[in-house]
Chains A and B, each alone.
Chain A
Amino acid sequence: MSRPEVRIKDLHKSFGDNHVLRGIDLEIAQGEVVCVIGPSGSGKSTLLRCVNLLEEPGAGKVFVGGCEVTDPDVDIDAVRRRIGMVFQQFNLFPHLSVTGNLTLPQRRVLRRGKAESARIAAEHLARVGLSEKADAFPAALSGGQQQRVAIARALAMGPEVMLFDEPTSALDPELVGEVLAVMRMLADEGMTMMVVTHEMTFAREVADRVVFMDGGVIVEEGRPEQVVTAPRHERTRHFLSRLLDPAMAEVEPERPQGAGGDGPSPKRPPDPGLPDR
């Protein structure tokens, strides 16, 4: 492994009484693709959002590219320029055209000129295969196209790391492929990526490492073929079996209060056809 691009040390985070992250240690090397999987409520999205400080951790440290993100005196806007983020709900700016979505951040944040930002925007739109939609508005695009624009918007800022927060969970099933293809291309180009996902095929084929989280801790991590195909922990096995074959899940009888802290009710993986708007 070369020097770590992302380093997370003993990270804790609570929402009120809800202790979401209970001491996370994780390093991501330059050019590495790490997929974070786990049941909903396991803290994986919160962990991702702590990396660019969209969530303020309660304790612990996060370094990105050697710079401490959690330092109270850090210029967080400067750090965030180096971290691209892609959201489940795309979050394109609806009042701007596709090109506007790509150029406005470059111009306002990086102070690039009009011509330069337009050129870079066109370059990245071409990379995600959406050059012909340059003048369209987000509302006119399919979910898959919106997500590809969102990826292009993040890439246009020239990030060192890309964070993906369930990028395909809000998509209709037939649109998932086009987004994963763009992500695979990025991985092949050597982008450092941290991906929270339920796409096991993507994790198995693209990730260098898979991290399984449950109950706010990392339960196990390793090569994807090892974690996904031959998990060592019972919790991982249980999660994967439900994810790969949701129809096989059984109604678990309710247990009396206080028994088994980590026994979540049987939850289906998020239905990809159901954007929670």
Chain B
Amino acid sequence: MSGPMIEVRNLTRAFGPVTAVNGISFSVARGEVFGLVGPDGAGKTTTLRMLCGLMDPTSGEMRVAGFDTVTQTEQVKDHIGYMAQKFGLYGDLTVEENMRFYADLFGITGQDCEDLMANLLKMTRMEPFRARPAAKLSGGMKQKLALMCTLLHRPQILFLDEPTNGVDPVSRRDFWAILYQLVKDGLTVMVTTAYLDEAERCDRVALMHQGKFLLMDTPQVLRESLPEVCYELRGDDMRSVRDRLRQLPSVSHVELAGNSVHVFLRAGERETELFAAVPGASFRKVLPSLEDVFISTVRNAGAARDAA
């Protein structure tokens, strides 16, 4: 299939008086990893559920793998894998039984099923645990099992809702390594996360806030997009340094992180005032993190709304 794998136009979903998703439009190309980032209640999960045909939109159009999610829900389901936030594994069933159940639901049988299961177990290094009940797996292993279950019918698009919530960094890195391998083979991935370090792993990121997209681009471009310039300063008693720097008119805001601060110099301002404020300190110009970008964008959006 040519053309985008996901295409969304003016998607809106209201729950009574609350508009959870408010007129978003975007498209995702084949083989892309698209990240949806935003705070709780931004509308990320609602968007994902609509794309999977689990919820109908109030208005707007969505095509997933070329099918309309409202009128062709069954076809959509055949082409997607969906991993919910609290992925549904049956704790009392073993790894293999969980996989067989999902394989059966998707109509994967016989040698095809055996081969696929063997491949997946090998890829995720889960073979030694195939007879273990899912409830007895570690967080990272549960995540892998969930992923395998969604991959059993060879979907073209994978929807992951906060997939690595509560998973330790080693398992998280493992998980992403598997995802990248799948993407190399042509899988399209759409993932939501509240963690910005996870968002950095995506090809493209949309920042979602109160049902709308505030920004959408590659992480690199987003990090370079802030008009403010960011400096890092480290040392002792950074808290009083922060309080001092906050007073400067040329400084937009200061963030304290352990033994260091990130100072954001307003666009077009010179560094002289800043450097003079902490004599002898070595300021280091750094690229703002995605989190910095996110927070200042959301704050600016709030300020703009308050002003209006």
| A and B pair up | no
Binding site for A on B (CB under 8 A): none
Binding site for B on A (CB under 8 A): none
